Amino acid sequence: MENFEPKKLLILRILEILTEYSDAEHKLRQNDVINLLRTVYGIECERKAVARNVAYLVQAGYDIVSDKTGMYLAVKRFEVGELRLLIDSVIANRNINKRHTKELVGKLAAEGGKYFANYAKHVVNLDEWRKNDGYDYFYNIEVLCEAIDAKRQVEFFYDGYGKDLQKHHRSTEKHFASCYQLLLKNGFYYAALCFDGHDNLAFVRVDKLSDLVLTPRVARPLGLVHGCEQGLNVGKLVNILPYLYSDEPQHVEFVTANGVEHMTDYVVDWFGRDVLVTELSDGNLKFSLTASPWAMKFWLLQFGKRVKVLSPQSLVDDVKAEIEQMRQLYK
């Protein structure tokens, strides 16, 4: 019985060895595989059995390259660049606490095999990274995903930081809401939802939800949410709502008043390329796009005297009022 189980697992163990220990720069000979089977898994095996099982794997579609110098698994689930991107994204996400960060990085690094470890050395010390201490982040994501799939409402408190720098509930009553989508924007994970008793789409930070539970209540159909009658286009949404304020998008025009260098870069970074750019006679640029006026006010103000909004007039008035209030504040 002891010999039967290793033989049954042999093809799986050979695949694991090729995945973990081989690449184009680190080829394995049959004797290498035999030694690893013995030392790592305690399985005794002959060369013919290795060759036979490798052939089975090739027949099953695995891209195993063999020549006189050895063999290696040519295609892995993740390339080095893909793993680096995923690992760095986990590290940069401030909502994932340090313990979960290390666990996730470890799992991703393991996907790269033995020789990928050098690429992940920089994540050993996370002391200088700003990380939240909450442990509900992944739980919240799971509950929201379940709610979306089951078309049921969720119930939660929405939190914010107080003067003691600790999280507190912003109200004493829990909120009920129907959730439709999760999206990443400006480094934070948001839930697109509709609060009970309202008909417009709102966005809440997933890391600020506490005591989140799935309820038996049926979710409000997305088609009954204002602005989502034809569905929810997340790609378009994140472009027209740079800060995810849920006001009605409008056509906005503004010009560079004092030649902001690389202004087009800033516009494309935030709004995509669905923008009309016109060069004026004085060398400045005019931009026309569709976006949230409330968000545009704050986006434009960061450039100070270097940009001037032209329309809509309501946005012009809001920017003027904001500038006047700032002037009074520093008077």
pLDDT tens digits along 275-288: 999 988 888 899 99
Share of the chain above pLDDT 70, in %: 91
- Give the mean model confidence (pLDDT) for residues 8-30: 88
Quote the tokens at residue 323: 């500038």
3-state secondary structure at position 21: helix
In this predicted model, what pLDDT tens digit does every residue of 153-196 receive, in sequence order? 999 999 988 888 788 999 999 999 999 999 988 878 899 999 99
The number of beta carbons lying within 10 Å of the beta carbon of residue 159 is 19
Q: Which residue has the higher pLDDT, 126 or 266?
A: 266
E strand spans, 97-172: 152-161, 167-169
Share of the chain above pLDDT 90, in %: 43
Whose CA is closest to 259, among 235, 285, 293, 281?
285
Whose CA is closest to 201, among 173, 175, 170, 229?
229
At 121, the pLDDT band (50, 70, 90 cuts) reads low
Element spanning 63, H or E: none
At 119, the pLDDT band (50, 70, 90 cuts) reads low
Q: Give pLDDT, residue 124.
A: 53
- The whole-chain average pLDDT of the chain stands at 86
Dist. CA 241–CA 252, nearest whole Å: 12
Single-letter residue type at 132: N
Model confidence at 127: pLDDT above 70: no
Q: Give pLDDT, residue 117.
A: 66
At 314, the pLDDT band (50, 70, 90 cuts) reads very high
Quote the tokens at residue 307: 């940009």
Element spanning 205, H or E: strand 202-205
Are the CB atoms for 222 and 253 separated by under 8 Å? Answer: no
Q: Give pLDDT, residue 81.
A: 81
Q: Give pLDDT, residue 220.
A: 95
At 104, the pLDDT band (50, 70, 90 cuts) reads confident
Residue with tokens 């595989």: 33
Question: Which of the 8 DSSP states describes residue 96?
Answer: S
Dist. CA 104–CA 204, nearest whole Å: 24
Q: Give pLDDT, residue 4.
A: 44
